[in-house]
Amino acid sequence: MFIGYTMTKRINKTLRQFFEEKPLTDWEKDFIIGCVKFQNNSNYSQVTSKQWNKIMELKKKYGE
């Protein structure tokens, strides 16, 4: 029996460290910090789909 894997839309420690090591603009830093605060206060401990899409754009922009 195969159990499907679902990726959570969560900024984990590894992803947060990735962004801390990159030369983000002020807007990008503020956005990431805001997303972390949002997920910590969320009932599901995740960011929204729109936030996650932007996070993935930034991750691609900075090389991973």
- Residue-by-residue DSSP string for 3-64: ----------HHHHHHHHTS---HHHHHHHHHHHHHHHHSTTS---HHHHHHHHHHHHHTT-
Residue 7 has pLDDT above 80, yes or no: no
- pLDDT > 70: percent of the chain: 88
What six digits make up the tokens of 17?
A: 């460290």
Q: pLDDT of 16-41, one tens digit each? A: 999 999 999 999 999 999 999 999 99
5, amino acid identity: Y
Q: Using a cut of 0.85, tell me whether the model's pTM lies above it.
A: no
Residue 3 has pLDDT above 60, yes or no: no
Please state the rounded mean pLDDT for residues 8-14: 90
